Structures are given as structure tokens and as C-alpha cells.
Amino acid sequence: MSSTKMIVGLGNPGPRYIRNRHNIGFQCLDRFAMRHHLEGGRNQLRATVLDAWITIKGQRHKTLLVKPLTYMNASGEAVGALARFYQIEPDDIIVVHDDLDMESGKIRLRRNGGSGGQNGIRSIIQHLGTPDFHRLKVGIGRPPGRMDPAAYVLQDFTREEEERFSLVRETVCDALDCWLSDGMDVAMNLFNG
């Protein structure tokens, strides 16, 4: 079996969604690629895929960065197909996604679990056939007043939020580095504070 790790960022493809709250997974993956001086990528099995060796603490990690191009609700189609193609076990997959039920700007790593109402995660569980993959949830908070959550997640971050989330994206990258180099237990201990 492959020892490749897969890091998936969830979002919707296309320029109109780039700065949306719902696209925090794509945004974090872009920042992670920049941090490690990775460029390019190719379209494969309905995703943008960038495979690279990432060096952390002197150790090299074979890593696949994946941004599904299926739109959020069908993310599992791409993730499932890529996991099968590269023979990546669910335990070697981490998915970065937004979470409405967490305080805005907080992050939380989880080993597995249900979808929590996140349709991208629901789709991945369905297409992998298991909930036993890792998640890195990024809190975006609840919509104000009676605003429809579907409308809220598809709004861009406000200017004030954007200042805070530039730091959040860096913390997510730190957590991903830790997950790659030290594993999920260490990452959870360090970043679930």
C-alpha cells in the first residue's frame, strides 16, 4: 500500500467563490502550497491535484494536495476516486473544511466522525465507504439574525474577518505540517486548545 498522505481542501471551483467562507478549505490549501513553494497541479479525476515531496523537520513526506472540482456537495466523487487510484488509506487522508457550528476563527482536528451537516464531508464518507478519515475543521460561526446558512457560507469574508483569517490559515498550515510530521494525536494535542 501507498505511504502517500492526501490533504484535501473543500470549496467550490470558479472565481466567484474564491473568497467565500465556504471556500476556507481551498484557501488553506493554497496557503499550504505557497508555504512549501509548490506550484502548478493538474486536473485529474475531477480535482486539481498537486503531488509533491514536502520536507518538515528534515523528513520528506510524499503528499497529494487535492481540491475537488465537483462543487462542495459532490466532493466525495473526486476524493474517493483519487484514494482508490493512488491506493491511499482513509487514515492517511485529512480534509480541511468550514464549520458553521464552531466559533469563527477556531480550528479543531478530529480523527473521524459524522458529517456534522457538512455536505462535502457527507459526500466523502459516502464515496470512501467509511467515516474513518481525519478532519481539520475551521470555524466560520453562525449567520447573523435569521440569515439563511446557505447564503451566509457563500458570502465573502468581511474585511475584519479577512484580517483574522489570514492568521487562521497560517495556523491551519502549522497543524497540517504537524499532522504530516508527527501524526494526528500530536496535532490534536497541540492545536485543539
For the annotated catalytic residues, the residue numbers are 22
C-alpha to C-alpha distances, 128 to 51, 72, 75, 87, nearest whole angstrom: 20, 16, 11, 12
The region that residue 137 occupies, defined by phi over 0 for left and psi between -120 and 50 for alpha, beta otherwise, is beta
Cell numbers at 83, concatenated: 484514494
User: For strand 5-9 and strand 93-99, is the pairing parallel, antiparallel, or unpaired?
Assistant: parallel
The region that residue 14 occupies, defined by phi over 0 for left and psi between -120 and 50 for alpha, beta otherwise, is left
| Structural element, H or E, at residue 34 | helix 24-35
Amino acid at 2: S
The 10 Å Cβ neighbour count of residue 100 is 18
Residue with cell 491511499: 88
Q: Which residues pair with 5 in a beta bridge?
A: 63
